[in-house]
Amino acid sequence: MPKQSEQNKLLLEIYDQGYNNPAWHGTNLRGSLKGLKLHELLKRPQSKQHNIWEITLHCAYWKYVVLRRLVDGKKGEFPRKPSNFPKIPNAPTLKDWEIDLALLEDYHLKLRTAIEQFSNSKLYKLPKGSKVSYIQTIYGISSHDIYHAGQIQLLKRYIRSK
């Protein structure tokens, strides 16, 4: 395996801070999902708004999309449907939640490996059909995790105040 560049190390550090490593910005995505009860995962702030569980699947889906872009993978291989905001089970249980949390973790690790192995010479190139470079895409998925971590933290605060 080729020696990891300083740039790839920095990208991995940023990527992990958004998901599961300590960071200056506060709670990361994985931290925002700890210790939730089933009713907290399912509660909607309003009837047509997403709940924490759906946001979690949305985050897993976009890790899959970025992974697909980095490795030039095929569309349609994400195990949950529909895309972007996959549906949660009809009669959801905490066991189902654990399975979906594992899906998020799995895609985080797969994407982490792809970032680690990504060619430094391609970082500033555009993926096929994209308007943003690979490096912008990697930064973007990190920002996406941080954004949704904040959203989940606000939802938890709202739910627990009721």
Q: At residue 4, does pLDDT exceed 80?
A: no
Residue bearing tokens 């697909």: 68
CA distance 46 to 69: 34
- Does some domain include residue 124? yes
Average of per-residue pLDDT across 123-142: 94
- Does some domain include residue 1? no
Domain span including residue 128: 6-161
- Does some domain include residue 72? yes
- Does some domain include residue 111? yes
Looking at the 3D structure of the chain, how many domains does it have?
Answer: 1
pLDDT at 74: 87
The neighbour count for residue 25, using CB atoms within 10 Å, is 11
Quickly state the pLDDT bin for 79 (edges 50, 70, 90): very high
- Does some domain include residue 73? yes
CATH number at residue 46: 1.20.120.450
The better pLDDT of the pair 159, 76 is held by 159
Q: At residue 115, does pLDDT exceed 70?
A: yes
Average of per-residue pLDDT across 95-111: 98
What is the token pair recorded at 104? 């998020």
